[in-house]
Each structure stands twice: as structure tokens, then as C-alpha cells.
Structure 1
Amino acid sequence: MKALIVGAGRLGTQIAQVLAAARNDVTLVDHDEDRIAELEGRLAVRLAAGDACEPGFLEHTGALTTDLLIAATGNDEDNLVISLLAKRRFDVPRVAARVNDAENTWLFDHRWGVDIPVPAATPLISLIEEATGATDTVALLRLSKAGVNVIETAITAQSRAAGRALADIVLPAGTVITTVIRDGQPTVPTPDIRLQAGDELLVVSHAATEQEIHAAFQ
């Protein structure tokens, strides 16, 4: 799935992390250039700085081919304009928008291009589930909200883990390998599975950093 998220605050960043960890094609945009610069290298998503209320910028960031747009800025007027452009001009199949002021809830409907209105106080689990139809993504979101990091790492021919069984890999404390993706197919990891070049691993940890996870395999 291709997702375009507008608003790189805590909410939009969290959604981007979760959707990217679930192997979706994610672009995160924000009008604040400093905020985008701050996120460079920290997220496995495309980042862009600009005004998403401008049709040209939305088109530049992939609105014509996106499957899901989430307007998650802190401004209801912006979220409505972005949603309307997404639906009417770019024909985005699914549009979700955050409602910051409860008094504006009545505006967030199909007339403004909104398929899924999300009140500020509402957890995003239902939003992600409805928008993507992926229960695995919902599980990842719950992990993220619980303070558990969701990290991807890839095995190459040069990786020291290539050819070794999972049981022989020493992982940081509090770390679990949840999925091994091989030839595009996710498999449940077992201790005797031997890692191969091209394998991608989805790892969750409540304590280890991304660098520590990569170091265990590379």
C-alpha cells in the first residue's frame, strides 16, 4: 500500500513508523523544514517539506498514485483542504483526517473528501485497521504505543549472520524476531532457520536501539 501522511508531529510520525514497519510505501510531509530535517535518517520513509494545501506540492509528493492519505496536522482548516484536494483532485481511494476541535467534527465528512474522521482523543488503532485492512499493522501500532520499537534489518552476503541459525544470533535483552521475510513471503521464525542473503527481519524491542539491532546481524 502507498500512503501519504501530512503532518510530521508525534501523531503523524508514529503512523509513518508503523506503516513503514509493516512494509508499506510511506511518504511523510510537513510544512516545517526544520522538522523534516530533524527526521532525516531516523525514519525509513520518504520525507518532504512543503505546503500540502498546494495542489502542486501534493502532486509532487505522490498524491496521484497514493492509496491512503492521512491529514494529521494540528490545524482543522488545513486538514479539510488537504482532504478535499486528495479526494476531488487526485481521487485518493481512502482519506483520513484528524479532527483537532470537537466543534468541527460535523465538517469532516464526504463533502470535504473525508472517509475516516478521527477525533483528537480517539486512538488511531481503528483508523489504521479500517484504512489498511491489516490486523498486523494494528498489532504493530499497539506495540509502538506501548513503547516498543519496531525495527527492520536486512541480511546481505556480507552480513555475519548470513548462513547462521537464528538460535546462534545473540540479541540485545528484551528483543524478539517476529518475522523473517524471504522471497517476499513472511515466515514465522524458528530457532533452526538459517538466515540467507536477501532475508529481511522484523524485530521488536523495548530497550535496544536500531544501531544495536543492526550490529547483531551485520
Structure 2
Amino acid sequence: MRVAIAGAGAVGRSVARELIANGHQVLLIDKDPASLRPERVPDAEWLLADSCELSSLEESRMESCDVVIAATGDDKVNLVTSLLAKTEFAVPRTVARVNHPNNEWLFTEAWGVDVNVSTPRIMSALVEEAVTVGDLVRLFTFRKGNANLVELTLPDDSPYIGKPCGLIPWPDNCAIVTILRDGQVYVPDAEQPIESGDELLFVAGADSEAELQSLLAPGQHAAGSPPPD
């Protein structure tokens, strides 16, 4: 897979190293000569260019990329890069970094963004996931599928403790992915019971989250913990 990363700062370089370690081809693009440090990621391609300029993206052979990651520290640059990659070069997958939380609403398919990565949102979700029991926590949003990865730690008073997964009336538009228990991962087949303290991971549509919360932890407040869209 060929991946272009706009922004050769600490974030871009770290992502590049991970992708290269997994066997992918990576191109790092940055318009700041000071950021071009090929010795930091010697196995990557490097290009001194402005990712907001069409001519620069043509020079990078953007049309041959499977994924474009806009990882600069400027939200405007990340949006424009994603939009050009998607509309002018038909890149199948775009991932954009959100630097300022107030701009997150812009990072949608309308701007060519398939997946946005908001550090404040991720950190907030991880904190909630670590300390809450019985509240549904939204960990990740799948833009393409209009669904979310959500987590709920089963409280002691859940009415379904000890019940096999196959006998629980899960909401429509919702699927249990895995059960985390005592440091182990359990496959949630029909015979697998859920227990107090289990961390349950689901892929669920936003319209099914409240029902899922009410089903497993009716004693918690109705709204749950997922952040608003």
C-alpha cells in the first residue's frame, strides 16, 4: 500500500515509521525545508512541497496512493489536502488530523475526509473508558458506516449478568465485538455469558446507543456518556 503523509513533523514521522514497519510505502510531504529530515525516516520518500497546491500533489503522484494522511498542525491545510486528494486524485481513503476541537465539525466527507482523528476526543474517551462503570462510552466514529465503536463496563446490578450473549435481546443496528475480562479477550459467541465488570465493545449505530445503555445498565442515567456529534 502506498501512503502519502502531509506534514513531516513529529506526528507525521511517527506514523510513517509505523506504516513502514508494517511493510507499506510512505511518502512524506512538507513545505518547510527545516522539516525535511530524511535521516529521521530513511526508508520513506521525501518531497519538499505544499500539499495545498495541485501541482505539488501531481508531482507526488497522488493518484497512485491508496491512503492520504493530512497530519500537519494546521487544520486548514489538512482540510484542503484531504479535499484535493479525494476530488482531484480519487484517493480511496483520507485520514485527517484535527488540531482544534472547535473545527471537528468541518472534518466530514463534504471536505473529502473519510476519517478524522481528534486528539482531545480520543483522550477524553480513554479517560471516560478507564473510570466509568455502567456508562456507554463512544471510543471511535466510523464516518463511512454511520456507526460508532462504543464500550460499556458491566455494573453489578445489570439484569443480564450471567446470561449468554445469544439470549440477550441486543438492539437493532448493534453488534457485540468482544468481551474483555481479567486481561483476556473472549469471543462473544451465543454460549458466552457476560459477567459483572466485563468490558463490552460494540459497533453500534448512534440511534441504538441509548437503547443499549438502558438494556445493560438501566440504573445509570439515560443519556449515557457518548459525546454529542
- The residue type paired with residue 29 of structure 2 is V
How far apart, in 2, do the equivalents of 1:120 and 1:6 lie? 17
CA contact (8 A) 1:7 1:28 kept: yes
Q: Deviations over 1:167-211 (max 9, x none)?
A: xxxxxxxxxxxxxxxxxxxxxxxxxxxxxxxxxxxxxxxxxxxxx
The 1:102–1:41 alpha-carbon spacing in structure 2 relative to 1, beyond 3 Å, is closer
- Mark the runs of 5 or more structure 2 residues left unpaired by the alignment: 124-138, 144-229
Shift of 1:99: 0.6
1:41 Cα shift?
Answer: 6.3
CA-atom RMSD in angstroms: 2.5
Equivalents in 2 of 1:28, 1:123: separation in Å?
A: 24
User: In the TM superposition, what are the counterparts of 1:95-174 in structure 2 within 5 Å?
Assistant: 95-121=94-120
State the 1:54 CA deviation: 0.3
Aligned partner letter, 2:14:
Q
Residue 215 of structure 1 corresponds to: none
CA contact (8 A) 2:38 2:44 kept: no
- Displacement of 1:123: 5.9
Give the conservation status (yes or no) of the 8 Å contact 1:4–1:62. Answer: no
Call closer, same or farther: CA 1:42–1:115 in 2, change over 3 Å. closer
Structure 1: gaps (5+ residues): 131-218
d(CA) in 1 for partners of 2:22 and 2:57?
A: 24
After TM superposition, the score normalised by the length of structure 1 is 0.54
- Which residue matches 1:46? 45
> By how many angstroms is 1:39 displaced?
2.9
Q: Percent identity?
A: 40
Structure 2 residue 101 is the aligned partner of structure 1 residue 85: no
Write the deviation string for residues 75-110 of structure 1: whole angstroms up to 9, x where unpaired.
000100001000000000000000101001110000
User: Partner residue of 2:12?
Assistant: 12
Deviations 1:136-195 (A, max 9, x none): xxxxxxxxxxxxxxxxxxxxxxxxxxxxxxxxxxxxxxxxxxxxxxxxxxxxxxxxxxxx
Q: For residue 35 of structure 1, what is the amino acid of its counterpart?
A: S
Q: Which structure has more helix as a fraction of its residues?
A: 1
Aligned partner of 2:30 in structure 1 is: 30
SS in 2 for 1:83: helix
Structure index of larger Rg: 2
Shift in Å, 1:34 = 1.9
How many angstroms apart in 1 are the aligned matches of 2:15 and 2:121?
Answer: 14
Indicate the structure whose relative CO is greater, using CA pairs within 8 Å and at least 6 residues apart. Answer: 1
C-alpha contact (below 8 Å) 2:72/2:97 kept by paired residues = yes
Q: In structure 1, the residue corresponding to 2:120 is in which secondary structure?
A: coil
Contact 1:33 1:50 in 2 (8 A): no
Q: Is the 8 A contact 2:32 2:48 kept in 1?
A: yes
AA matched with 2:61: G
- Amino acid aligned to 1:40: E
Alignment of 1:49-60 (within 5 A): 49-60=48-59
Task: Point out 4+ residue stretches in structure 1 off by more than 6 angstroms.
Answer: none
AA in 2 matched with 1:19: L
Structure 2 letter corresponding to 1:73: T
Contact 1:40 1:47 in 2 (8 A): no
Q: Alpha-carbon deviations, 1:2-44, whole Å to 9, x = none?
A: 10000011111000001011110110111111211x3336431
TM-score by length of 2: 0.52
Q: Is the 8 A contact 2:82 2:94 kept in 1?
A: yes
